Amino acid sequence: MYLSRIPPEILRAILAFALDHHPCPCDMLCVNKTFLELGQLVLHGQLHFRSINQLILFGKGRAPLVCPPRTVVIALAGGSADSEVFRHLMGALKRCQRSHATAGGRNALDGHTSNGNSETAKVTLDILALRLHSHSSKPHLGHIKQALSMVNPKTFIFRGPELEHNFSTAIDSMATHHVLWAMSTWTIVRHVTLTNLCFPSDELGLNTLFSHGAPLLPPLPTLHALYISQATLLPPTGIAAMIAGQDHEALECVHLVDAYRHSVWGNQIRLRDVEDAVLQLRTMGPKERVEALEHVRGVVICETTEGA
């Protein structure tokens, strides 16, 4: 079959697969005008960065994007730890904002109006996925909060770079704190995946930035599913308070895999631990506790893979 006879939606799907695996995507865009037009829609709609240099170069680009990005993925080879990776992400997101502003200007000329300042508006995404190490360099930690506050994703994924069967902590507790702060600014997030991380709180309050019994996540009324894997210093009371509270009413599943309340040398969190944590919450009466326990049993899944 000639390429000219392939339906555009099928050709676009083929290009999406090919561009994601081609060592030099620009070569494919030079085949013909159709490849260029469809290829740009794929590349700009699904931004995928595999190196710090790609992220930097994209942020420095001045040409407007042909379409708003719906997916942003940063997957660094070997989890390369660059202390300024989130500053570079800010640069990339600012380019996305500039493109929105340009599109907003065109809409105004066509008789359409846009709300707010497009150059400072959040970048709405279907997916924001990060696979990399965090960093513990204090001068740059604020970049995590600043960068993630520039987006408004429906799905957020932050994983470490190691293979799933290798337990590692790629996201330290201070970095996790800034991630959680940024999440408090999101309004449409439905699914959150966090792996290979250390939380900035524990049930003893020895390593905490939050008060005892505070919800694990900031208020996220649209959140449906939370997946946490290979986590340490994860407080069962935080999980219980989150599920029992009024700020996560849409939450349907909290899936914990190889999650520890202290270090990896201690016990993994079991459903019973979260149930016991409900009994420790001081803000509920007997009736509310019974309802909270039933809710926890219907929402929380605890799983272990180590030694399996």
pLDDT tens column, 246-294: 899 999 999 999 999 988 888 999 999 999 999 988 878 888 889 999 9
Tell me whether residue 25 is in a domain: yes
Q: How high is the mean pLDDT of the chain?
A: 82
- Confidence at residue 69, expressed as pLDDT on a 0 to 100 scale: 93
Residue 66 has pLDDT above 60, yes or no: yes
Structural domain count, the chain = 1
- Condensed to tens digits (0 to 9), the pLDDT of residues 213-231 reads 789 999 999 999 999 999 9
Tell me whether residue 119 is in a domain: no
d(CA 139, CA 28) in angstroms, rounded, equals: 41
Its pTM stands at 0.85
Tell me whether residue 43 is in a domain: yes
d(CA 281, CA 62) in angstroms, rounded, equals: 53
The dihedrals phi and psi of 230, each to the nearest 5 degrees, come to: 50, 60
Tell me whether residue 32 is in a domain: yes
Residue 198 has pLDDT above 60, yes or no: yes
Residue 5 is part of which domain span?
A: 1-49
Tell me whether residue 16 is in a domain: yes
- Condensed to tens digits (0 to 9), the pLDDT of residues 82-130 reads 678 899 999 999 999 887 666 554 443 344 444 445 556 899 999 999 9
Tell me whether residue 164 is in a domain: no
CA nearest to 174, candidates 219, 138, 217, 226: 138
- Confidence at residue 22, expressed as pLDDT on a 0 to 100 scale: 65
What percent of the chain clears pLDDT 90, i.e. is strictly above it? Answer: 48
Question: How far apart, in Å, are the Cα atoms of 117 and each of 97, 98, 148?
Answer: 9, 10, 18
CA nearest to 179, candidates 160, 164, 194: 194
